Amino acid sequence: MVLRHLIHRGIRDPRVLDAMRKVPRERFVPPSERDRAYADQALPVDCAQTISQPYIVALMTEALGLQGEERVLEVGTGTGYQTAVLAELAREVVTIERHAELSEKAVRVLDELGYGNIEARVGDGTLGCPDRAPFDGIIVTAAASHCPPALFEQVREGGVVVIPIGGRGVQMLEAICKVDAAPRSESLSGCRFVPLIGAQGWPR
């Protein structure tokens, strides 16, 4: 997976590549999908959600430029795979999921794998986590028509929000850096994510 789907497609950060080698992706997909756990494709999971393809996970993670001392916010815990990759690379990960069932299953797997630097919450991720802000980086694993203002406010100066921006069907993955309190965006890749539901996202 790392050689074929990540290195050959341009992922270069050695820490990201090591994390992707280490995290057992098969633990985060449904039993019916485990034969495709390392294929470079999104897979269906509970609550009509998906687990992102490995390349997109690596691309989003690399865009944060993590060095090991950061506090990161993840919006959309899902099965916890992206959470685990972030936990390998950052000092602390706060992750929010609106589906309690998904959050509970993810926490169980993450605990079994021994991750002790993750705080999982259930709630509206579009509002972020103001009591733990500011964050050095924020990853949003669902698509929005724009970056929720609450999330941009909660990333520190010089920090990055990585988020798919577009319609409900197709989006562009954007890395939005806060420079002099204003957004500076870099387009990373076309993508396709489930919609970001919440007060500052899409309606239910």
Structure tokens at 46: 């509970």
Q: How many CA atoms lie within 13 A of 78 on its CB side?
A: 33
DSSP conformation letters of 107-134:
HHHHHHTT--SEEEEES-GGG--GGG--
Q: Residue 153: phi, psi to the nearest 5?
A: -65, -35
Query: What are the tokens at 88?
Result: 């390998």
Query: Residues 32, 52, 103, 189: which is the catalytic one?
Result: 52
Calculate the alpha carbon distances from 67 to 13, 78, 149, 188 in Å. Answer: 10, 24, 26, 20
192 three-state secondary structure: coil
Structure tokens at 164: 């798919």
> Catalytic annotation on 52?
yes
Farthest-apart Cα atoms in the chain, separation: 48
Query: Could you give the angle at the alpha carbon of 163 between the alpha carbons of 75 and 20, nearest 5°?
Result: 75
| Three-state secondary structure of 148-169 | CHHHHHHEEEEEEEEEEEECCC
Report, as residue numbers or ranges, the catalytic residues. 52
